[in-house]
Amino acid sequence: MNYSLDKICLFSSLDKKQLETLEQISTIKRFKEGNIIFYEGESPNYLYFLLDGLVKLYRFDAKNAITILDYYYSQSLIGEAASLQQTPYQTTAECDTDSTILMVEYEGFSKHFLRNPDVALQLIMQLIKRVKSLMNNRVQLTSMQKIAQLIYENSDLFTRIKKYKIAGILNMTPETFSRNLKKLKKDGIITYGKGQFQILDQERLLKLFDPCKTLK
């Protein structure tokens, strides 16, 4: 799959010359499932933007057991707080599926783009997105709301990851996940089977988790 820098939300406002500069300090790298993007304690040299795939962030506890703290889905920054503050990573980032990541040299990005108001605004929006995600983890969303939101924002995951894995990401039992998914199919909002997954009614899906929002 080919990716164009001007199609990425962070950089959609850049002109041709700026995009050429960005291309000079950027690399698109494909990671295999299980590959480490960065380790806890490392100093950040890049700004990472997940183009495609699933990445988990975790730490090791006192007993050397892994504690998963969060998952990142397609089209999101990874470890952006450490990169922007230039402090060591507080977590380890590992690809949970084959993933494609845009790696931007932070020094060059800071020099050429951080003072650009449009890019700064997009960075703020990405940070707000992360805050909202953390808040949603603390708010008692129903199982159906969690599933509907994930489908709406990352439906491709449902053809790439087994159902029990998605249930674990959403912190619910496979039985609860399956029951809600079947209801969405019965109600004509989605359809799936044999490696395919499709949203049939985006408006109704959106209303399930955000009743105040409408499609543009």
214 pLDDT higher than 70:
no
Q: Using CA atoms, how far apart are residues 124 and 169, in angstroms rounded to an integer?
A: 25
Whether the Cβ atoms of residue 67 and residue 59 lie closer than 8 Å to each other: yes
Residue range 101-126: mean pLDDT, rounded: 82
Confidence of residue 70 (pLDDT cuts 50, 70, 90): confident
Mean pLDDT to the nearest integer, 51-72: 87
Give the mean pLDDT of 116-121. Answer: 76
In the predicted structure, residue 156 carries a pLDDT above the cut 50: yes
Q: What is the pLDDT of residue 138?
A: 45
**What pLDDT does residue 1 have?**
54
Please answer whether residues 76 and 128 qualify as being in contact, where contact means their C-beta atoms are separated by less than 8 angstroms: no
The set of residues, in sequence order, having a beta carbon less than 8 Å from that of 173 and lying 6+ positions away, is 167
Return the minimum-mean-pLDDT range out of 4-18, 77-91, 198-212. 4-18
> Would you tell me how many other CB atoms lie within 10 Å of the CB of residue 48?
22
pLDDT at residue 44, rounded to an integer:
94
What is the value of pTM for the model shown? 0.74
Alpha-carbon distance 104 to 27, whole Å? Answer: 7
pLDDT tens-place string over residues 193-213:
888 999 999 999 999 987 666
List of domains in the chain: 5-119 (2.60.120.10), 143-209 (1.10.10.10)
